[in-house]
């Protein structure tokens, strides 16, 4: 659930302990795992952009001067094209009330949007948001991104699935791990410079993941990015990563956050979780 409904009773789980805690939660070491945990990076805020607090962010990407956002909650799910500087919605398509929208991704002239538990993926013409077809899959839909050849999806577990864009069928799956620990609750995704960036549900961190074997290359600690008094409720969690490849800009936001932050990843100094 790239973002569950209000009041969902699950704690975002990132198991990042050493071997002693690992033994209690994971029975076997992931194949090819590096024993050493990944380093943690910090951030600086470069710029801020408006974001609607009505948007329960499930999918997020940047393309050709626009933010594209997929929102969740049954009866409130939609795909939006948004002007970054103003927050103005220039194009929108709403889902039927029975669908809980999840991750989105661009593929050629299309946008794919899948759903939490309905096992339906809608495909839209990106220029008009006209629905052109729908695809099916097994399991839950959470986050979605793409490489040059495949669509990459998360389902709330520690797995990332690489899919055929034409059929949405699974081609391969990797298990994400940091040293000896499996990393659960993978959420919204973005593919950046050959790595998969992943939000972790209910955690203020982004994992940078190697797409070949699933090991975490590094963490980005975004603690303190949005003050607690700016959040609508406990489900207003970090969720949304977008990348402007042309200008090398990284954007992050969260569910019903008032702001999209452009950030720069920097070395983390001792005792400093955020630098702005």
- DSSP type of residue 55: -
Reading the chain (276 residues) residue by residue, the pLDDT tens digits are 554 544 433 333 333 333 323 333 333 344 444 578 999 999 999 999 999 999 999 999 999 999 999 999 999 999 999 999 999 999 999 999 999 999 999 999 999 999 999 999 999 999 999 999 999 999 999 999 999 999 999 999 999 999 999 999 999 999 999 999 999 999 999 999 999 999 999 999 999 999 999 999 999 999 999 999 999 999 999 999 999 999 999 999 999 999 999 999 999 876 554 544
Cα–Cα distance, 273 to 15 (Å, whole number)? 19
Helical H segments across the chain, by residue range: 19-25
> Following DSSP, what letter does each residue of 138-187 receive, concatenated?
SS----EEE-SS-EEEE-SSSEEEEE-TTT--EEEEEE-EETTEE---EE
Rounded to an integer, what distance in angstroms lies between the CA atom of residue 212 and that of residue 274? 30
Q: Which domain holds residue 154?
A: 54-264
Q: Which helix (H) or strand (E) holds 241?
A: strand 238-244
Distance of CA 192 to the CA centre of its chain: 12
14 within a domain of the structure (yes/no): no
Handedness of CA 134, 254, 212, 179 (dihedral sign): negative
Pairing label, strands 40-50, 216-221 = parallel
> Is 29 within the bounds of a domain?
no
pTM attached to this predicted model: 0.87
**Is 113 part of any domain?**
yes
Q: Does any domain span residue 48?
A: no
CATH number at residue 126: 2.130.10.10
The verdict on residue 107 lying in a domain is yes
**Domain count along the chain:** 1
């Amino acid at each position: 659930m790239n973002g569950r409904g209000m009041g969902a009773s699950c704690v975002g789980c990132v198991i990042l302990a050493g071997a002693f805690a690992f033994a209690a939660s994971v029975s076997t070491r992931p194949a090819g795992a590096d024993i050493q945990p990944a380093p943690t990076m910090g951030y600086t805020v470069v710029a801020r952009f408006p974001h609607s607090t009505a948007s329960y962010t499930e999918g997020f990407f940047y393309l050709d001067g626009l933010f594209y956002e997929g929102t969740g909650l049954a009866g409130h799910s939609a795909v939006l094209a948004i002007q970054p500087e103003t927050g103005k919605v220039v194009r929108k398509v709403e889902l039927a009330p029975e669908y809980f929208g999840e991750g989105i991704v661009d593929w050629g002239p299309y946008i794919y949007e899948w759903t939490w538990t309905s096992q339906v993926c809608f495909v839209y013409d990106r220029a008009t948001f006209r629905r052109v077809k729908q695809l099916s899959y097994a399991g839950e839909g959470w986050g979605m991104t793409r490489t040059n050849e495949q669509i990459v999806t998360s389902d709330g577990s520690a797995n990332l699935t690489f899919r055929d864009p034409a059929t949405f069928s699974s081609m391969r799956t990797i298990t994400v791990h940091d040293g000896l620990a499996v990393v659960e609750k993978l959420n919204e995704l973005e593919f950046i410079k050959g790595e998969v960036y992943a939000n972790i549900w209910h955690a203020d961190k982004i994992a940078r993941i190697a797409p070949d074997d699933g090991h975490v290359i590094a963490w980005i600690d975004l603690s303190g990015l949005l003050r607690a008094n700016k959040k609508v409720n406990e489900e207003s969690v970090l969720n949304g990563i977008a990348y402007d490849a042309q200008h090398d800009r990284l954007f992050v936001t969260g569910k019903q956050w008032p702001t999209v932050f452009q950030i720069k990843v920097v070395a983390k100094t001792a005792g400093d979780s955020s630098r702005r």
